[in-house]
Amino acid sequence: MSLYRECDRSVDLLLQALPNCQGRVLIVADENWSNTDWTEVGRTLHCSIEAISNRIDIATNALNASVSCHFNDFDFSALAAANYDTVLYRVSKERATSHYIINQIALGLLKPRGTLIISGAKSDGLKSYLKQSCRLFGDVTHAVKHGACYRASITLNSLADQPLEDKNYPATRLLQSLAQGRYCSKPGIFGWDKIDRGSAFLIDHLSIFLTTFAQPPKSLLDLGCGYGYLACEASKHIFSEIVGSDNNAAALIACKENFSRMLTVKNCVIAADAGAQIDQHFELVLCNPPFHAGFVIDNRLGIKFLHNTQRLLSASGRALFVVNRFVALEKHANDYFKRVEVVADNGA
């Protein structure tokens, strides 16, 4: 029986392998694990299971199911070295993230002769990751195809001299591509090395939107803040408090740095799943909601952001969203708000 409902098929392949694992098992869980039934995972009694996730929602769900889970930006330093017999990893959407995690599994997490069970689709780069991992681990093995996805077991025999290129994943850095070096960012954040066109479009029309308020709003929430672009650009207007929130640990790190460098008003950054853990009201919410969960388009994400925005707005508050044209957010927004208007449309 599958341990994963409405699953990412590659995650399901890993969980199907779990009954055959022995000893200490580590699950490396990114956004691809969003719909995992951790209660079923927690019922696994024949081995000791631990997890690490860069998503606050995943970590919370695992902990609620009595599965030990660390929430951070895949900082493995808190885990005992050479401690795990098996590590389960579904490759991530970003190459730098996948390379970094595979390096850490080989260099610090697995016991000698321990096993990495890796999965993903051919289009996710699984075959390339497998080839590189085999070189790093000193192993020769093949992936087994299961429909459109693959799973492979790689044994740590000996370490290669050269790890995989991970773009110095843990470090934040100022990027010239982000408003001529005004912003710091890092791998692990969606669109980490660019200014999202939708976010830029929102900021271009923020001044017009603010003229619709009877009184200028004083409190601002950047919901799904990423590295904090919306909040920092909006700070050019007069606010007395600015809050950023994201469920991604890498985003929280970069946003805190940018707030510290660029904001002079009261501010904070909160780990929350689409704002679910925030208990405060705001006069203005800005949001460029995601529509992907890992490799899969998930239209429910926008609805979750709408639901929480309704709760987070003050009585006279307003929210400004930007979404891709194919996402029918306006239709769903009418279920949550008494008035929904299109402020601007650039065809995209």
Report the percentage of the chain scoring pLDDT > 70: 95
In a domain, 342, yes or no: no
Give residue 5's pLDDT: 39
The per-residue pLDDT for range 34-86, each reduced to its tens digit, is: 989 999 999 988 999 999 999 999 999 999 999 999 999 999 998 999 999 99
- What average pLDDT does range 243-260 have in this prediction? 98
Give residue 324's pLDDT: 85
The answer to whether residues 177 and 326 belong to one domain is yes
The answer to whether residues 39 and 136 belong to one domain is yes
Give residue 120's pLDDT: 97
The answer to whether residues 266 and 205 belong to one domain is yes
The answer to whether residues 291 and 261 belong to one domain is yes
The answer to whether residues 178 and 54 belong to one domain is no
Alpha helix positions (H), the chain: 9-17, 38-42, 56-64, 95-104, 126-137, 197-204, 206-210, 229-234, 249-262, 300-312, 329-333
The answer to whether residues 106 and 181 belong to one domain is no
The answer to whether residues 55 and 134 belong to one domain is yes
Place of tokens 């930007």: 322
CB distance 117 to 152 below 8 Å? yes
- Burial class from Cβ neighbours inside 10 Å (0-12, 13-18, 19+) for residue 40 reads middle
Rounded to whole angstroms, how far apart are CA atoms 92 and 77? 20
The answer to whether residues 54 and 95 belong to one domain is yes
The answer to whether residues 194 and 257 belong to one domain is yes
In a domain, 198, yes or no: yes
Number of domains in the chain: 2
Looking at the DSSP assignment, which residues form a beta bridge with residue 284? 220, 318
The answer to whether residues 247 and 194 belong to one domain is yes
Q: What is the DSSP letter of 76?
A: G
Does the pLDDT at position 1 exceed 50?
no
Helix (H, G, I), strand (E, B) or coil at 105: helix
- Its pTM stands at 0.94
Give residue 294's pLDDT: 54
Give residue 62's pLDDT: 97
Provide CB contacts within 8 A for 9, sequence distance 6+.
121, 146, 147, 148, 149
Provide CB contacts within 8 A for 284, sequence distance 6+.
210, 213, 217, 219, 220, 221, 239, 317, 318, 319, 320
CB distance 108 to 102 below 8 Å? no
| Residue 114, domain extent | 9-155
The last residue of a domain, from among 126, 155, 184: 155
In a domain, 4, yes or no: no
Rounded to whole angstroms, how far apart are CA atoms 146 and 139? 22
The answer to whether residues 191 and 118 belong to one domain is no
In a domain, 82, yes or no: yes
In a domain, 327, yes or no: yes
The answer to whether residues 250 and 313 belong to one domain is yes
The per-residue pLDDT for range 107-154, each reduced to its tens digit, is: 999 999 999 999 999 999 999 999 999 999 999 999 999 999 999 999
In a domain, 167, yes or no: no
Neighbours of 325 (CB within 10 A): 9
Say if strands 292-293 and 296-297 run parallel, antiparallel, or are unpaired: antiparallel
Residue 330 tokens, joined: 């306006």
In a domain, 162, yes or no: no
CATH number of the domain to which 136 belongs? 3.40.50.150
The last residue of a domain, from among 125, 155, 185: 155
In a domain, 326, yes or no: yes
